[in-house]
A = this chain, B = another copy of it.
Amino acid sequence: MNEKYKKLTELIAEIQDLNHCGSLIGWDQRTFMPPGAAEERGNMQASLAKVTHEKFVSDEIGRLLSDLIKELPGLDPDSEEYRIIKVTARDYDKETRVPGDFVAEFAQVTSLANQAWMEARGKSDFSIFQPHLERIVELRKRYISFFPPADHPYDTLLDIYEPGMKTADVRGIFEALRPQQVELVKAIADRPQVDDSFLHVDYDEKTMLAFSEEVATSFGFDFQRGRQDKSAHPFTQNMGPDDVRLTTRFDPKHPFALLFGTMHETGHGLYEQGVGHTWSRTMLESGASLAIHESQSRMWENLVGRSMPFWEHFYPRAQELFPSQLGKVKLDQFYRAINKVQPSFIRVEADEATYNLHIMLRLELEIAMVEGKVAIKDLPDLWNTKMKEYLGVTPPNDAKGVLQDIHWSGGMLGYFSTYALGNLVSVQLWERFLEYDPELEDQIRKGDFSALLSWLRVKIHQYGRKYEPQELVQRVTKSKIDSAPYVRYLNKKYRAIYGL
């Protein structure tokens, strides 16, 4: 067994190196690539993806895995070897079930769909995108057919992004959460709105960028093993734990979005920098799932970065950097402004109190698409009806409604839920940490995040993909993913801000 295990890990290490090459090339495409390079970049990515796929689905790896799987019962289920074999076998199974021809067709269809979506959104004309989305739903159903039947066909899609997550579970969680969030948002809507006009005046981009890196450094992000650049849409990309790259952007209409964007991506980045080197160049080397990742990004962005203790520490610094804009604004005013709740059409601009409602709407539509219970042409109306029901607003056009997100054009059905699940998990972890160390607010008030980061490193980061996401949440919080802590958090915070 030892020889075979050694051989497997050697082969996988090379594959992960190639995956890192792909990550770096993707990062460059979104940061520094000159525009004329787009065509050859597509070739580079396709050829690299092809050879990486071929290496992974090789007969040799298949034979090694089928031999090693037989040895699993004799191993400690918590051991490194056991987990590496298990996760690698799971990934191998997924990669081999889907025929190469299908992958190529899917890539082609989504590439065209993405172009159509951009045009459709530009013209706010859903009919341009409709036939492409129909084709994508068809292909996603075919994808599902490559896998053993699940409790619900949508489970197979969820599993791409959130291993082990079931449709019934997500529905249950969201159904408990929705009425409470809807109620809170309605209550807030009846209260006088906070004034955040001072957030939307001129701020200097370079100063904001420098401030964001000060904050990221104070959180514990290691710029010796990472960097921050600009891109059209913020993202985090990494090539193992020692090369983790954040991006942010500056929008003069929302200058503080740069700072909160950096905090969010820093959350992702801290997670990746914290994955144990034990897992380097194995299939376990990154975060457990999208939801767990999002729990980290949302924690640093919202639970830390939009909290009063954080700004008790950092607000004097912000005033020093932006004296003309903030010099006369009181801390409390600033705090209320960065936490303003206002139902809006666009998910990515949504505040903490409304964000999850955007996600729930998308989940329901996606399930209906996969079940064939909704005709694609009826999506825009259904979208608008649900927006009115959950958020009390009706998008003025499809560009600000059903066409706003890129995900469906890329075939990413099953992805959205992870955003909301991440929010829920972030508060579950937060409450657990407070039991362990009730002094957290005082530490944050001093700009000291080391205890929180250390705990996250020990409880979450170091494990990489060793545990499935729900297993990990269970281990740390002694609970399943649960909406109650999030509801408590929202109510406490926003009832105070809006005087409810």
Contact = CB atoms under 8 A, between A and B. Distances in A.
Contact of A43 (B28, B34, B227, B281): B281
A192 interface: no
Contacts of A240: 37, 40
Interface in A8-29: 13-14, 17-18, 20-21, 24-25, 28
A35 B224 contact: yes
A445 to B, nearest CB: 31
A36 interface: yes
A243 to B, nearest CB: 3
Interface of A: 13-14, 17-18, 20-21, 24-25, 28, 32-37, 39-41, 43-44, 46-48, 50-51, 55, 222-227, 229, 239-240, 242-243, 280-281
Given A33-B243, A37-B243, A43 B226 contact: no
A36 B222 contact: yes
A25 B21 contact: yes
Contacts of A13: 43, 47
A40 B280 contact: yes
Contact of A242 (B14, B39, B225, B280): B39
B227 A36 contact: no
A48 B34 contact: no
Given A24-B28, A25-B21, A44-B20, A243 B36 contact: yes
Given A55-B51, A242-B39, A21 B44 contact: yes
A375 to B, nearest CB: 41
A21 B46 CA distance: 11
Contacts of A37: 225, 239-240, 242-243
Nearest to A40: B240
Interface core residue of A21, A28, A50, A223 (most chain B CB under 10 Å): A21
A61 to B, nearest CB: 14
Contact of A48 (B21, B43, B242, B243): B21
Contacts of A28: 24, 28
Interface core residue of A36, A223, A225, A242 (most chain B CB under 10 Å): A36
12 contacts: A14-B51, A17-B44, A17-B48, A21-B44, A33-B243, A34-B225, A34-B243, A36-B225, A40-B239, A40-B240, A40-B242, A41-B243
